């Protein structure tokens, strides 16, 4: 009797709880929002139920959530996937706030030919660190070339070196990289012939990887660069992707329709070719790229030797002037110093302004001397105002253009970096969807979610549907906007109220939480 009574009481209690419907049945329910599912379907009023990190239900959700978010007046979308980042520093800045505050829940690193050499170790480090968002990576051709050839050299690899590069690519793919990236304007990849890239792309294709390329030319010479990309896709039988599609320099402006026609022709031929874009008319990369690669080949000591030789230095300067002329320019006034560690007072200044400040004069020769001095003093990064808004919008309208930032994880108030790292996705939703109506909202979201997930092979991401991982962005379509500008970039995007990564809020009520639920996304 003594034993039976407590048991009976307990059973009665369980029954009573069931009848009252008090038991929370899902971890989280987002109610009353307009769901944009990521596939491009029209927005619809639906609830989203989440359980164990995944989407449990989309539609009229009758179960109660242990936590409920009222998304009235807001859009509920899959978390954004940024396939073009340089966020290798995510393990030292694991909150990745500039990304998550604009709704980004997954990033792909290792772009433009540069990645970690040991992908397995990198993924372990991501998991040990615990980061706020999901991390996938490409494997960099420049990384492989440097490791296999012992530096930056202007020559073809030996058979043995090529084989070693192939093995690096194979190992990286086995360790979960999503593909191979090239940066064909950078050291040492710029010295590679197409045959070398084809061989390495074959190693990535064997594991169903993608080939993503910062092409050899993004200006007046883009046709040959596109043809090289198509050749890699054709000969290595690999999906190919144009990174940060653009046309830089006035002589190239207006050619966006021709570039898209070439991409369409390649697709008609049977090649799987896609592209990504950031929505700013300025680019950003190392200031060293203003100096010819042949002058920087072989390391810092060789560079100094060349500058000490008057004949060689004259050749370098002549080459720089010729490159400027071919870009339709007479000055480096389009280039702004974003970050220069050796002299932070130059951050935010154009090259002529910086030359004036450091050398007392801003002639072209003074500008070039300053650029060479910066490169000798450890280098820096720059912002280059060189694109046309009409081209930008033409590229943006193409259905296969993904939205990607080309950014690393930002540290508040460090340098004057390109605003894209803080604002890219929000700028698409605010400026190009709401204000200029270049894109439908549903299509813009598709280019940030299911399109990149599908092409880069991120499984169960990029769609709000039962079974998918619960990566979610909730934002106000009337208020979402970028707040970062070129002169004052360190501002988070506005209007994104909730961001979930694997079902866990990393942005809640517009503020970042301490949660770090991100996963290492290994290709499977």
Give the residues lining the site for Zn ion (CB under 5 A): 112, 214
Closer residue to Zn ion in complex, CB, 285/449? 285
Q: Where do we find the tokens 């060479």?
A: 372
Q: How far apart are CA 496 and CA 481, in angstroms?
A: 9
Closer residue to Zn ion in complex, CB, 91/405? 405
Closer residue to Zn ion in complex, CB, 214/410? 214
- Shortest reach from residue 290's CB to Zn ion, in Å: 15
- Shortest reach from residue 217's CB to Zn ion, in Å: 12
Q: How far apart are CA 108 and CA 138, in angstroms?
A: 7
Q: Exposure string (b/e) for 469-505, b if CB count within 10 Å is 16 or more?
A: bbbbbbbbbebbbbbbebeebbbbbbbbbbbbbbbbb
- Shortest reach from residue 214's CB to Zn ion, in Å: 3
Closer residue to Zn ion in complex, CB, 183/477? 183
Closer residue to Zn ion in complex, CB, 367/401? 401
Tokens of 109: 């690193």
Read off the DSSP letter of residue 407.
B
- Shortest reach from residue 137's CB to Zn ion, in Å: 15
- Shortest reach from residue 299's CB to Zn ion, in Å: 22
- Shortest reach from residue 280's CB to Zn ion, in Å: 14
Closer residue to Zn ion in complex, CB, 112/317? 112
- Shortest reach from residue 218's CB to Zn ion, in Å: 9
Closer residue to Zn ion in complex, CB, 253/278? 278
Closer residue to Zn ion in complex, CB, 35/215? 215
- Shortest reach from residue 243's CB to Zn ion, in Å: 5
- CA-to-CA separations, 339 to 46, 300, 411, 492, in angstroms, rounded: 45, 19, 12, 19
Q: Where do we find the tokens 């615990």?
A: 130
- Shortest reach from residue 112's CB to Zn ion, in Å: 3
Closer residue to Zn ion in complex, CB, 84/434? 84
Q: How far apart are CA 168 and CA 447, in angstroms?
A: 31
Question: How many CB atoms lie under 10 A from the CB of residue 366?
Answer: 18
DSSP E strands, 52-165:
54-59, 65-70, 75-78, 80-82, 104-109, 134-137, 139-140
Closer residue to Zn ion in complex, CB, 141/214? 214
Handedness of CA 350, 352, 355, 360 (dihedral sign): negative
Q: How far apart are CA 287 and CA 228, in angstroms?
A: 25
Query: Helices 222-236 and 194-205 meet at what angle, rounded to 10?
Result: 40
Closer residue to Zn ion in complex, CB, 210/496? 210
**HEC string for 218-229:** CCCCHHHHHHHH
Closer residue to Zn ion in complex, CB, 186/492? 186
Helix residue spans in 237-341 (DSSP H): 256-269, 293-296, 300-308, 310-326
Q: Which one, of 384, 405, 419, lies nearest residue 285 by Cα? A: 384
- Shortest reach from residue 244's CB to Zn ion, in Å: 6
Q: Which one, of 150, 140, 78, lies nearest residue 108 by Cα? A: 140
Helix residue spans in 377-478 (DSSP H): 389-397, 420-427, 441-448, 450-456
Contact 171, 201 (CB under 8 A): no
Tokens of 289: 């790229």
Identify the helix (H) or strand (E) that includes residue 366. Answer: helix 364-376
């Amino acid at each position: 009797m003594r034993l039976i009574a407590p048991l009976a009481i307990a059973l009665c209690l369980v029954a009573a709880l069931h009848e009252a419907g008090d038991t929370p049945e899902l971890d989280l329910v987002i109610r009353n929002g307009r769901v944009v599912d990521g596939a491009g379907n029209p927005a619809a009023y639906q609830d989203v139920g989440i359980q164990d990190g995944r989407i449990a239900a989309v539609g009229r959700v009758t179960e109660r959530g242990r936590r409920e978010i009222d998304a009235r007046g807001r859009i509920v979308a899959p978390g954004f996937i940024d396939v073009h980042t340089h966020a290798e520093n995510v393990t030292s800045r694991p909150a990745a706030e500039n990304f998550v505050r604009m709704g980004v829940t997954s990033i792909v690193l290792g772009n433009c030919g540069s990645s970690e050499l040991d992908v397995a170790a990198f993924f372990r480090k991501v998991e040990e660190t615990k980061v706020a968002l999901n991390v996938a990576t490409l494997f960099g051709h420049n990384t492989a070339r440097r490791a296999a050839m012992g530096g930056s050299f202007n020559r073809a690899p030996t058979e043995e070196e090529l084989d070693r590069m192939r093995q690096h690519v194979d190992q990286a793919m086995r360790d979960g990289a999503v593909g191979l990236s090239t940066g064909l304007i950078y050291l040492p990849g710029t010295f590679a012939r197409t045959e070398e890239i084809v061989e390495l792309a074959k190693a990535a294709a064997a594991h169903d990887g993608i080939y993503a390329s910062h092409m050899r030319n993004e200006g007046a010479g883009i046709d040959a660069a596109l043809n090289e990309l198509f050749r890699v896709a054709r000969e290595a039988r690999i999906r190919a992707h144009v990174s940060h599609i653009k046309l830089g320099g006035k002589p190239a402006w207006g050619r966006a329709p021709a570039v898209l026609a070439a991409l369409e022709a390649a697709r008609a031929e049977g090649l799987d070719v896609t592209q990504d874009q950031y929505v700013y008319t300025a680019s950003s990369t190392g200031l060293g790229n203003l100096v010819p690669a042949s002058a920087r080949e072989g390391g810092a000591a060789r560079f100094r030797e060349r500058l000490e030789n008057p004949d060689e230095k004259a050749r370098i300067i002549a080459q720089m002037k010729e490159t400027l002329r071919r870009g339709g320019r007479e000055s480096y006034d389009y280039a702004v110093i974003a970050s220069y560690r050796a002299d932070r007072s130059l951050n935010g200044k154009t090259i002529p302004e910086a030359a004036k400040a450091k050398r007392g004069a801003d002639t072209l020769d003074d500008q070039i001397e300053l650029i060479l001095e910066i490169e000798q003093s450890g280098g820096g990064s720059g912002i280059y105002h060189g694109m046309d808004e009409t081209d930008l919008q033409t590229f943006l309208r193409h259905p296969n253009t993904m939205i990607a930032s080309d950014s690393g994880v930002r540290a508040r108030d460090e340098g004057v970096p390109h605003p894209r790292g803080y604002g890219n996705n929000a700028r698409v939703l605010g400026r190009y969807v709401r204000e200029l109506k270049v894109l439908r909202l549903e299509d813009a979201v598709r280019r940030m979610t299911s399109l990149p997930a599908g092409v880069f092979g991120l499984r169960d991401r990029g769609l709000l549907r039962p079974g998918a991982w619960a990566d979610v962005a909730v934002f106000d379509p009337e208020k979402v906007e970028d707040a970062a500008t070129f002169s004052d970039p360190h501002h988070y995007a506005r209007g994104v109220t909730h961001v979930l990564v694997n079902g866990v809020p990393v942005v809640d009520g517009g503020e970042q939480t301490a949660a770090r639920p991100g996963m290492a996304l290994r290709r499977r």
